[in-house]
Amino acid sequence: MSRRCVVLVGMMGAGKTEVGEQLAADLGYDFVDVDQLIVEKAGKSIPKIFKESGQDGFRVLETETIRELDGSLSRVIAPGGGALETPENAQILRTLGHVIYLKASARELYQRIKNDRNRPLLEVENPKGEVATLLTGREPGYRDAADFVIDTEELSVDEVVSKLIDELAKRTIETQY
């Protein structure tokens, strides 16, 4: 299978959607938000899926959705922050394209997402601690899957996109430039 897509991985708050949308526009690619596909497939919001089917039910839908991704088209794909915890997902996403880990510290991630009520995993007593725990557990998986890492800690979306385009150009992805 060709590796034409760009796959952005990282935690909730890493900027996968915002960066992905802008990168896709700049490259002339389509943008695919895996969570959005899951919502369309289930006909309900992410919080409702978690409420009715639990995290396990959500993960089943997530893997079904990732299996259906078409890697033959030029796309920027953003899976949810927990997608790589399922080894099959990580394997499929690697076959689709260049995998980039958008990295940020737990403190920065928490600042970016603390007012967002669309993330059921953070509806806990200590969401800040939960971000740190999830990041520690997931970081090795992000790094393993990634072709390269972009540290987004102090960068604007524009700056992250520009770095990504430079790095991808070195790796001979076709761009308009």
Footprint of ligand S3P (CB under 6 A): 12, 16, 35, 46, 80-82, 119-121
CB of 74 to ligand S3P, least distance (A): 21
Q: What is the largest CA-CA distance in the chain?
A: 48
CB of 44 to ligand S3P, least distance (A): 13
When the beta carbons of 71 and 82 are compared against ligand S3P, the nearer one is 82
AA letter at 113: I
Of 94, 97, 121, the residue nearest 109 (C-alpha) = 121
CB of 16 to ligand S3P, least distance (A): 6
Q: How far apart are CA 112 and CA 119, in angstroms?
A: 12
CB of 129 to ligand S3P, least distance (A): 15
Give the Å distances, CA to CA, from 157 to 15, 19, 115: 8, 6, 19
When the beta carbons of 116 and 166 are compared against ligand S3P, the nearer one is 116
For ligand S3P, the nearest residue by Cβ is: 80
Order the strands of the 75-78 sheet from edge to edge.
Answer: 30-33, 75-78, 5-9, 97-103, 148-151
AA letter at 70: D
When the beta carbons of 29 and 58 are compared against ligand S3P, the nearer one is 58
Determine the 3-state secondary structure of 129 from DSSP.
helix
When the beta carbons of 14 and 168 are compared against ligand S3P, the nearer one is 14
CB of 35 to ligand S3P, least distance (A): 5
When the beta carbons of 84 and 161 are compared against ligand S3P, the nearer one is 84
